[in-house]
Amino acid sequence: MTSSQTEPVIQVLSLVKEYNGKRVLSDISFELYPRERVAIIGPSGGGKSTLLACMIGAAIPEEGEIQLLGETLRPRDRKAMDRLRLRFGVMFQGGALFSSMSIQENVALPIRRHSDLAEETIKILVAMKLNQVGLFAASDRSPEELSGGMIKRAALARAMALDPALLFIDEPSAGLDPIAVAEIDDLLLKQAETHDVAMVVVTHDMTSAYRIANRMIMLYKGRILFDGSPREIQECEDPVVQQFIHGRKDGPISFQESSLDFGKLLLEGE
């Protein structure tokens, strides 16, 4: 979407992030507009999770700026971050549900903390949120009693508890069977359409990415290699992009980088 009238919900400007002197993200810039659903894809170690961590304020970039929903992200300013965090939701890869609480308590937690609503109203809201993800019947269960797919759905209900304008989703398909993945993808789409939520989905599951996203950003070695629509990515002739989206073993993306060091070890006895 290219809209001159609409303000972007995310603006990432020349982002640089390093870990222990090693550059993980280099000069990342992009904008995300309302109702866009972007899949951040790329091979492992490409910088997807680091970019997500920077966008939710969990990691502090060395250079560059991030604006979320019109406000500059200042991870060191706790009050400003907390104000901003009320406007976006995060669904973690493993769910990150509080194991000492039931599913409904998990979903109720942000509502209880950040609103003055009566307990009865909170119960109704939580029931609605859980019903939307098909977990109303499992409200009283603890996270340990749920399957992987149910945990992800509960995590989605919690992430949507405060009706955010923006949703960050980390690896929604990780550890799930194809049917559960399809269910989660369908739920994410429904949430995006029903609540007009912009979504950033970090994934390396292309089937899931095609299903959810209307825009793809591919990261490779800490840089944006591709930014375009799902159709454009399929037509992209870059060999790295082609290898990744088709899941080919042979190609420029090497998974055997450590073999050079191993060879050196054998030859030089280091």
Among residues 117 and 236, whose Cβ is nearest to another protein?
A: 117
Among residues 87 and 223, whose Cβ is nearest to another protein?
A: 87
Among residues 78 and 246, whose Cβ is nearest to another protein?
A: 78
Q: Is residue 67 within the footprint of another protein (CB under 8 A)? A: no
Give the ranges where the chain is alpha helix by DSSP (H): 48-55, 78-85, 103-114, 119-132, 148-159, 178-195, 206-212, 230-235, 239-246, 258-268
Among residues 85 and 204, whose Cβ is nearest to another protein?
A: 85
Q: How far apart are CA 195 and CA 189, in angstroms?
A: 10
Q: Is residue 83 within the footprint of another protein (CB under 8 A)? A: yes
Q: How far is the CB of 245 from another protein (least distance, A)?
A: 28
Q: How far apart are CA 134 and CA 255, in angstroms?
A: 39
Helix (H, G, I), strand (E, B) or coil at 19: strand
Question: Mask 162-181, x = binds another protein (CB under 8 A)?
Answer: xx------------------
Q: How far is the CB of 66 from another protein (least distance, A)?
A: 15
Q: How far apart are CA 249 and CA 255, in angstroms?
A: 9
Among residues 121 and 259, whose Cβ is nearest to another protein?
A: 121
Among 24, 90, 154, 213, binds another protein (CB under 8 A): 90
Rounded to 5 degrees, φ, ψ at 72 are -75, 135
Among residues 42 and 95, whose Cβ is nearest to another protein?
A: 95
Q: Is residue 226 within the footprint of another protein (CB under 8 A)? A: no
């375009």: which residue's tokens?
228
Residues 36-65 that bind another protein (CB under 8 A): 56-58
Q: Is residue 111 within the footprint of another protein (CB under 8 A)? A: yes
Q: What angle do CA 127, 104, 121 make, to 5 degrees?
A: 45
Closest C-alpha to 164, from 48, 107, 84 = 84
Helix (H, G, I), strand (E, B) or coil at 150: helix
Q: Of the listed pieces 36-44, 96-104, 219-227, 235-243, which binds another protein according to CB under 8 A?
A: 96-104
The Cα-based distances of 19 to 8, 15, 31, 89 in angstroms read: 29, 14, 24, 26
Q: How far is the CB of 219 from another protein (least distance, A)?
A: 21
Interface with another protein by CB under 8 A: which residues? 56-58, 78, 81-83, 85-86, 89-90, 92-94, 96-99, 109-111, 113-116, 125, 158, 162-163
